[in-house]
Structure 1
């Protein structure tokens, strides 16, 4: 931190504060007290939080001056996913990953479109089931079903993929804790990681043939593009790319659906509008509901970059190597950009008003924005339209208000159990399910 950049306010939360409030609340409090530009943390480990829309504009205009920090390639996510789209550093490997993935997450893809439609109907049936189920788990299962066939073909059962993803989450959290005391070389030999790699290879490895035959799923396309028959060393890259896309498509999209349902359950009159539009073959309101939910509760609260050289930001010079956090969460909840920002008003996205690019960034921005953005929006919109056409649901009285507050971890999710009371349209059955 240079002397000039020290003119920016700095907040140094104690470990107890982090444990009590979490980083999201600390960031919100820091911005309330000091404005939308503030250092958070101790001197050498401080990150610069930039929470204004002008900072997004600055980033887009100067994107070449930032890069995605991976701590020299030693991040836990990189260790787990290898040269995947999510963790790849700038350069040849990232451009290759992006080039291979982008065409395969098109919502118009036959396999993915089929998965989106079938999983939406499955969601309705799962929520209508009389037994009490976890809505969070249902949402994650729905997200996996949307892409399972299109990503890995029909050979793997979705339950097998679900087991693999749950194992990934468990190992990721385990390695994050171990990272505090172990160096990268030791982590690479961690017994839990070895077990995970064995599971990954035993499950996905047999699906790799290299020729693809008549298949058009993501894994086979990766194998064809990387020509693993001629270059067997690319086999691991194909597996890592598939896993990286699976993780991103399930966790973020599943939790985004959970937030959509949570908001919609508290404003059931919008369900009637979706139902009426669906009868006429349109889904503008369903799409607006999804976008408003992503505005109010973006599952990605922050995205991080690192400055490649000294940069002047708002008149202050920040040095090279500065970790910078941009915040969709704080921008989306800023009254300067959104009237009544804490109110759920899908009409914002129907009024014909052009929304500035820097005011709505639920999928990040720039060349490293979410490659599956269009697919996720289509999946969520289809799910909302299908559910509202067949069900009416409200937030159950048994839901504690505290459960609705956000918990920031791998992504932003509701803090506690959420209960919905569902009633099938045109039927008298009613039951409650639990998130």
Structure 2
């Protein structure tokens, strides 16, 4: 008589680092978010649990990070199951208002329907001349054979582009304030989101006062710009602000409220220049360390320029990680996820998986050309997110960045002076110090 052994029981507990008995992994994630997540993937695999706090049940379930592209697809394409009602997005709402970046549910659906026509590829293509003019302006004004900070140059370019596209006006007068406030607001937001117990902002703690002052300062900048442009409401300007004022929900005909316009304009101004400036900075830095690739890209036309940009964003994704919350009991990759669990996905980690990206730390734009690019599973690469909440500004950002790269590389040969740059993972990925380079005339 033969017997059949029962199948092995499926493991239920998702592994992860134990962390501190009281703080869990809070200190490690705060001190080195990207390194801690990458170490977690290398040690524990596709799904990793990170406990933040002492593990008491009343604090809720631990966070689960999802590093396999099949799991990323599950999280990003099922907003009814994985929503944005998270500590991180609640904090961003407190800082930046209820714009498209932070809203959720029916409010987000209405905003997305209303704003989507503003960012179609055809509409975005209408900004090509503006972007080209600003790229040429930067190239002409940069002195050859002198040391420059690539991040500073790219911030100038990206801010001028988004200022003209959004307001039909330059915003150079607020650049210095924004360069101080944006990283401060990001740092304060992340710190607040990672507090085990968050007091209401009305509580006059030192942290809360710094947070509310930073938010008020950002809105004060936006209000100054809007006040300056108030007399242009009835003009024929075709900028994004004018489009926001005339946009209507295609289902209900409802316009955006003045507060919604204010919130959307603030997010477009901040995210629209921060993410692109970072992507360009890191891509130019990488090209400056690979002169043979740089020469190929400079001579290779728009497809190769775009491939270099995409590879730069693979290694340095502007949106390095994001989070969701499980609205119901569910599963990811066959493992149970309790309702209420924070769920993290990280392009920084998934973009470095050697099973999908051989020799993952190597800069190789050819990954995004030909058959190699077409055969790669979708969610091995997601610098703009994915699913219904993918970044609405993707076409704008890619066009803006390829125009700048083409213009600069046609005029200059970039020589990077620093080794691999240190990065700061705030709301977006930023260099932790100036990214020095010399631009030599070709």
Same fold (TM over 0.5): yes
1:38 aligns with 2:34: no
The residue number in structure 1 matching 2:334 is 315
2:3 counterpart residue number: none
Deviation string 1:141-176 (CA, Å, 9 cap, x unpaired) is 11112221111122x533336635643543454466
- CA shift in 2, pair 1:339/1:48, >3 Å: same
Which of 352, 357, 366 pairs up with 1:347? 366
CA change 1:218–1:89 in 2 (3 A) is same
Distance in 2 (CA, whole Å) between partners of 1:175 and 1:342 is 30
> What secondary structure does 1:393 align onto?
strand
* CA distance in structure 2 between the aligned counterparts of 1:212 and 1:172, rounded to whole angstroms: 35
Asked whether 1:85 is paired with 2:95, we answer no
Q: CA deviation at 1:137?
A: 1.6
Residue in structure 2 matched with residue 22 of structure 1 by the alignment: 32
Distance 1:223 1:64, change over 3 A: same
Q: CA deviation at 1:63?
A: 3.9
**Quick one: distance in 1 between partners of 2:352 and 2:415?**
24
Tell me, yes or no, if structure 1 residue 388 matches structure 2 residue 402: no
| Gap runs ≥5 in structure 2 | 1-9
Counterpart-to-counterpart distance in 1, 2:192 and 2:78:
36
Q: CA deviation at 1:215?
A: 1.2
Give the structure, 1 or 2, with the largest relative contact order (CA under 8 Å, sep 6 or more).
2
Contact in 1 for aligned 2:415/2:438 (Cα 8 Å): yes
State the number of aligned residues: 409
C-alpha contact (below 8 Å) 1:333/1:342 kept by paired residues: yes
CA distance in 1 between counterparts of 2:186 and 2:316 reads 24
Is 2:309 aligned against 1:293?
no
How far apart in 1 are the matches of 2:258 and 2:111? Answer: 14
Distance change in 2, residues 1:191/1:264 (3 Å): closer
1:347–1:269 distance in 2 versus 1, CA, 3 Å: same
| Cα distance in 2 for residues equivalent to 1:305 and 1:414 | 26
TM-score (norm 2): 0.82
Match of 1:105 in 2: 119
2:439 counterpart of 1:422: yes
Deviation of the 1:341 alpha carbon:
1.4
Tell me which residue corresponds to 2:242: 220
**Aligned-residue offset at 1:382:** 1.3
1:405 Cα deviation from its structure 2 partner: 3.9
Higher mean C-alpha deviation, range 117-126 or range 252-261? 117-126
Shift of 1:370: 0.7
Asked whether the 8 Å contact 2:144–2:441 carries over to 1, the reply is no
| Contact 1:286-1:385 within 8 A present in 2 as well | yes
Structure-2 separation of matches of 1:87 and 1:314: 27
1:62 CA drift (Å): 3.7
Give the match for residue 6 of structure 2: none
Q: 1:358 & 1:190 partners in 2: Cα distance?
A: 37
Given the alignment, which residue of 179, 185, 197 partners 2:202? 185
Structure 2 match to 1:360: 381
Contact 1:226-1:234 at 8 Å conserved across structures: no
In structure 2, what is the equivalent of residue 9 of structure 1? 15
1:237 aligned to which of 260, 270, 274: 260
Distance of aligned partners of 1:126 and 1:236 in 2 relative to their CA distance in 1, 3 Å threshold: same
| Cα separation, 1, equivalents of 2:90 and 2:112 | 20
Query: How big is the shift at 1:57?
Result: 3.0
CA contact (8 A) 1:211 1:224 kept: no
Moved more, 128-137 or 185-194: 185-194
1:124 aligns with 2:139: yes
* Residue 7 (structure 2) aligns with: none
Q: Are residues 212 and 97 of structure 1, via their aligned partners in 2, closer, same or farther at CA, if it must alter by over 3 Å?
A: farther
- Is the 8 Å Cα contact of residues 76 and 172 (structure 1) preserved in structure 2? no
TM-score (norm 1): 0.84
**Structure 1 residue ranges, 4+ long, deviating more than 6 angstroms after superposition:** 230-233
Q: Which residue of 2 aligns with 1:145?
A: 160
**Cα pair distance change 1:287/1:144, threshold 3 Å:** same
- Measured after TM superposition, the shift of residue 328 of structure 1 is 1.3
CA distance in structure 2 between the aligned counterparts of 1:118 and 1:371, rounded to whole angstroms:
24
- Does the CA contact (< 8 Å) of 1:141 and 1:162 recur in 2? no
Q: Indicate the residue corresponding to 2:303 in structure 1.
A: 284
Change in CA separation of 1:54 and 1:196 when aligned onto 2, cut-off 3 Å: closer
Q: Any stretches of 5+ residues in structure 1 without a counterpart?
A: 426-435
Mapped to 1, the partners of 2:158 and 2:221 lie a distance apart of 22
Determine the C-alpha separation between the residues in 2 that align with 1:208 and 1:103. 24
1:68 to 2:84 alignment: yes
**Partner-residue secondary structure (3-state), 1:298:** coil
The alpha carbon displacement at 1:240 in A equals 1.1
User: 3-state DSSP class of the match of 1:7?
Assistant: coil
